[in-house]
Amino acid sequence: MVVLYAIVPADQAATTPDGLRALARGSVAALYDEREEAHSTSRQDLLDFGRVVNDISDAGPALPVRFGTVVESLDALGALLESREEEWRERLATVAGHVEIVVHAQDAAAPAPSPAAPGSGREYLMSRAAARRHSEAMHDDLTAALRAHCRETRRLQASEEIRVACLVPAGETAAFRSAVESWAGAQPGRRVTTTGPWPPYSFTEKET
């Protein structure tokens, strides 16, 4: 079976990391590994996969493929590349020269949903709605503050915080982090954490 790692520009396929092969169709290529068995799903295998994707991204523009993606044959992979070449070429041009930084933001002053108690259904729903409105407003405010420093953003799932992936020019991460600090400092109670730089995991598809 064919285990996929990343989609890269066809002219970058020559710099494939050790152990990987490349299959090109038109302007794009897939970096893959042929194995008898797919990845196991241990944490170590996952992190090893991440390390390879990181090396690929360090070498040039790349669209990481989701961990665990396996196709049945090289013919099938070739057909996939042909059918999505245009989409992947556009995405590769977008992420070229950029890295992903994830911003986690919390606000100590945010209204917390009151715990559900017997007979307080309306109050509970209203408190949840208020918390949701606050969260939406904080997300909009954060992305507006960072817009000048990143090409695209994606809101990521999070339960008790705002989590936003930002596509930042690779040479401007310090300015981006300064903008995050300024945003956090604009109001008391805001707590912000950033992680990265990562390969552009969250920007492999056009924003819908």
Partner 1 sequence: MSVEHVNVGEDVALVDLIDRLIGGGVVLTGDIVLSIADVDLVYLGLRLVLAPAHVVEDSVRLSRPPRRLEE
Chain residues in the site for partner 1 (CB under 8 A) = 1, 4, 6-7, 38-39, 41-43, 46-47, 49-50, 53, 63-73, 76, 79-80, 88, 100, 102, 104, 156-157, 165, 177, 180-181, 184-185, 188, 190-196, 198, 201-202, 204-205
**Closest CB to partner 1 among residues 129, 195:** 195
Token reading at 130? 């208020």
Helix axes 121-146, 173-185, angle to 10 degrees: 140
Shortest gap between Cβ of 194 and partner 1 (angstroms)?
A: 5
Q: Which residue's CB is nearer to partner 1, number 129 or number 187?
A: 187
**Residues in CB range of 20: below 8 A, 6 or more apart:** 5, 31, 32, 33, 52, 56
Burial of 54 (0-12, 13-18, 19+ CB in 10 A): middle
Q: Considering beta carbons, is residue 42 or 118 the nearer one to partner 1? A: 42
Q: Quote the least distance from Cβ 156 to partner 1, whole Å.
A: 7
- 67: burial class by Cβ within 10 Å (0-12, 13-18, 19+)? middle
Shortest Cβ 4–partner 1 spacing (Å)? 8
To partner 1, the closest distance from the beta carbon of 32 in angstroms equals 12
Give the number of other Cβ atoms within 10 Å of residue 62's Cβ: 25
Q: 41 vs 148, which CB is nearer to partner 1?
A: 41
